[in-house]
């Protein structure tokens, strides 16, 4: 690929790009050029395509963002990776920070998972480097998904013997005793997001086989008491719904050769009114403990629908106003 920049007069900057592999352009441009249209919307530019050449016009900053985003996507295709709609948004997000976002992803059986924001990139670095990571952030910022992907990758590589996924079974004012069914039927709805993430990483039959063999365990937090979790990758999801006592119990389960990830959204606690969250308590208590990493994700790291980002920002603004 080659490119050149030229003045576009009052209209701003004009950048031209030429690609050397025509076979990749159909995927790069998308059906009916929808990928280019999306980049136009996100970067506030105009893009015209003619064969293997693109012309990008807009302000110097915006044209630069679009150029870097398209370059990153093209390099992604050259490495044999696919492009999904969320990858387009991620490419523009990285381009705005002058960050190409081309680091090696997390390889699982079904897909290669990559960071889709600078915040997520920092989170992945923490997951690779630390034995205990706390990830705090809003819904859709990838806290649980990336943690599960890393766990699956380490399991497949033989670096851990098993994965243990856990959640507190307390949400939206409900308690297990008031729900219908046996214990498994009571618990499964709370653990469903963990199952969903696993199914994105592994074929269903592998999940079933690994659960039967004990290589993958999904259990409510209460089942962790009294255990020592050695040689495994442990995730506690929705940790904002733990009590300080439960959190202390959980983090002290860490055994030899294990890694632990604790995820939660401090703004969505479902504990009874006035009860302190174990996640907030851990942030205060462990903030200076060597070997523990705290990662804070924001609305800028939300990779769901654009509307989710705007909703998160609206709630954050309201909460800030109330505090002020």
127-150, pLDDT tens digit by residue?
Answer: 999 999 999 999 889 999 999 999
3-state helix, strand, coil in the chain (%, to 5): 50, 20, 30
pLDDT of residue 155: 94
- Pair 180, 315 in one domain: yes
Q: Please determine, for residue 47, whether its predicted confidence score (pLDDT) is greater than 80.
A: yes
Check residue 142 and give left, alpha or beta (phi > 0: left; psi -120 to 50: alpha): left
Which letter does DSSP use for residue 254 in this model? Answer: B
d(CA 231, CA 237): 19
β-strand partners of 259: 233
- Pair 239, 90 in one domain: no
Q: Is residue 225 part of a domain?
A: yes
- Pair 256, 319 in one domain: yes
pLDDT digits (tens, 9 = 90+) for 158-210: 999 999 999 887 643 445 555 555 555 666 676 788 888 899 999 999 999 99
Q: Is residue 101 part of a domain?
A: no
Q: Which among 63-67, 100-104, 302-306 has the top mean pLDDT?
A: 63-67
pLDDT digits (tens, 9 = 90+) for 214-242: 999 988 888 888 888 999 999 999 999 99
With tokens 């205990």, the residue in question is 132
pLDDT of residue 9: 43
d(CA 300, CA 92): 12
Residue 158: closest CA among 231, 207, 265: 231
- Pair 212, 180 in one domain: yes
- Pair 179, 32 in one domain: no
119 touches 165 (CB < 8 A): no
Q: How confident is the model at residue 10 (pLDDT cuts 50, 70, 90)?
A: very low
pLDDT of residue 177: 53
Q: Is residue 100 part of a domain?
A: no
pLDDT of residue 25: 92
pLDDT digits (tens, 9 = 90+) for 276-302: 999 999 999 999 999 999 999 988 888
Instruction: State which residues form the domain around 25.
Output: 2-95
């Amino acid at each position: 690929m080659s490119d050149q920049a030229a003045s576009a007069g009052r209209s701003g900057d004009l950048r031209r790009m030429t690609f050397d592999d025509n076979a990749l352009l159909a995927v790069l441009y998308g059906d009916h050029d929808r990928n280019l249209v999306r980049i136009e919307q996100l970067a506030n530019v105009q893009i015209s395509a003619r064969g293997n050449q693109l012309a990008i016009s807009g302000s110097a900053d915006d044209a630069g963002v679009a150029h870097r985003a398209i370059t990153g996507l093209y390099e992604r295709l050259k490495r044999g990776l696919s492009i999904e709609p969320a990858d387009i948004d991620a490419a523009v997000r990285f381009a705005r920070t002058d960050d190409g976002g081309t680091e090696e992803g997390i390889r699982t059986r079904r897909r290669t998972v990559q960071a889709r924001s600078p915040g997520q990139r920092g989170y992945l670095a923490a997951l690779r480097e630390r034995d205990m990571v706390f990830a705090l952030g809003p819904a859709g910022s990838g806290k649980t998904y990336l943690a599960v992907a890393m766990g699956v990758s380490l399991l497949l590589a033989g670096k851990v013997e098993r994965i243990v996924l856990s959640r507190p079974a307390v949400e939206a004012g409900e308690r297990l005793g008031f729900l219908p069914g046996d214990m498994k039927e009571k618990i499964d709805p709370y653990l469903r997001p963990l199952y969903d993430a696993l199914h994105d990483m592994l074929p269903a039959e592998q999940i079933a086989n690994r659960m039967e063999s004990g290589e993958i365990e999904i259990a409510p937090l209460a089942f962790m008491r009294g255990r020592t979790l050695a040689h495994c990758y442990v995730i506690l999801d929705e940790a904002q719904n733990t009590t300080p006592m439960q959190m202390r119990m959980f983090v002290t389960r860490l055994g030899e050769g294990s890694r632990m990830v604790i995820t939660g959204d401090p703004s969505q606690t479902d504990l009874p009114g006035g009860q302190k969250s174990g996640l907030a308590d851990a942030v205060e208590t462990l903030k200076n403990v060597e070997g523990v990493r705290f990662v804070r994700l924001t609305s800028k790291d939300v990779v769901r629908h654009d509307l989710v980002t705007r909703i998160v920002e609206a709630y954050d603004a309201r909460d800030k106003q109330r505090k002020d």
